[in-house]
Amino acid sequence: MRILAVELHRVAMPLVRPFETSFGRQTARDVLLVRVRTTDGDGWGECVAMADPVYSSEYVDGSEAVIRHYLAPALLAAQEVGAESVAGLLGFVVGHRMAKAAVETAVLDAQTRAEGISFGEYFGADRDAVDCGVSVGISSSIDELLAEVDGYVGEGYRRIKLKIKPGWDIEPVRAVRELIGELPLQVDANTAYTRADIEHLGRLDEFGLLLIEQPFVEEDILTHIVLSAAIETPVCLDESIVNAEVALDAIERGATSVVNIKAGRVGGYLEAVRVHDVCAELGVPVWCGGMLETGVGRAANVALAAMANFTLPGDTSGSSRYFAEDLTEPFELVDGRLAVPTGAGSGVDVRADALADWALRPPITLT
């Protein structure tokens, strides 16, 4: 198929409550959505880059610029494009994985809709619903944290993940462990610690956590190896795992024994499947991470999370975890699980009314 146009939509989505991590506090999502118009029909992709370059080096204005000036022109110039050829066509651009992922996903959506197959079928999903975990931000008090966690337990979430940072770790985790009993519990530091904190992090072992996620900076594989040998709690990497090769290296070197897979972070869902496959071959379980996606990205994540080696609950929460109203029909938990969309492509449609109501500016159309 040929790409006839690439549309860039920017949407403001207020969060139902502030979301605080070790790198900042956000109260809304400034979302870049890509729609491709092709000879075989339309497709949508969501860019997971945040408003500021504080999770990784990408940020939404940068993603929009690199799509506008490099990625879209490359696809528009190609005579024949398929999801499997996008990474090669865009390989001349270094990095910008979240921007590339949004474009590749839009092409994949158009292609699979035209073929009449769902993302789940395309990825090789082995179940029709996925177990859901929920990510809980840093709170202003332990009581506030416990009230929020209690609400999620009541909604049926099968795993709790707590954001931690120096000064907000042992006590919140202890309080939540006492509240939720044996319910699976894990923590995410978003790179906030250093090698000097290894002994302190060992104190988390008393809480029987599923894992500790990305305690050190993205590039520091070595300190994750040292921590893995020093504590009982399994070490999970997120920010560090930018593609299948890095996943293989980190696992073989003993830096990680569980992997958080985010399609946007690794450059798209096709690379995410490759990370899944590498980890499966090495017997390393994976789970689907989240970037506060709207229903567009959420639909693709749920389909990915239905692959065989996604054996741990992911950050695939219901739409209401972040948004009072979603860009698509809302994803709603049933018995702590989300159903894998069965429709062609992503299986969801962008609501034109919401897109118009929440648009930050008119769409940019590239041809």
Ligand X SMILES: CSCC[C@@H](NC(=O)CCC(=O)O)C(=O)O
> In 10 A of CB 196, how many CB atoms?
9
Question: Which amino acid belongs to residue 351?
Answer: R
State the nearest-atom distance from the C-beta of 4 to Mg ion, in Å.
37
* Residue choice 6, 9, 21, 295 for contact with ligand X (CB under 6 A): 21
Strand partners, 359: 11
Per CB under 6 A, 233 contacts ligand X: no
161 included as an active-site residue: no
Residue 294 CA, distance from chain mean position: 11
Per CB under 6 A, 223 contacts ligand X: no
Furthest C-alpha separation in the chain: 60
100 included as an active-site residue: no
Q: Left (φ > 0), alpha (ψ -120 to 50) or beta: where does 201 sit?
A: alpha
Per CB under 6 A, 291 contacts ligand X: yes
* Residue choice 7, 42, 64, 188 for contact with Mg ion (CB under 5 A): 188
> How many Cα atoms within 13 Å fall on the side-chain side of residue 69?
8
State the nearest-atom distance from the C-beta of 143 to ligand X, in Å.
22
Question: What character string, x for contact with ligand X (CB under 6 A) and - otherwise, covers 303-332?
Answer: ------------x-x---------------
Phi, psi of 33 (to 5 degrees): -115, 140
State the nearest-atom distance from the C-beta of 238 to ligand X, in Å.
5
Question: What character string, x for contact with ligand X (CB under 6 A) and - otherwise, covers 175-204?
Answer: -------------x-x--------------
Task: Give dist(CA 47, CA 264) in Å, integer.
Answer: 7
> Quick one: which of 48, 102, 94, 51 has its CA closest to 238?
48
Q: Which is nearer to ligand X, 110 or 157 (CB)?
A: 157
Query: With CB under 6 A as the contact rule, which of the stretches 99-107, 289-297, 302-310, 338-346 interacts with ligand X?
Result: 289-297
Q: How many residues bind ligand X (CB under 6 A)?
A: 14
Q: Which residues are catalytic?
A: 163, 262
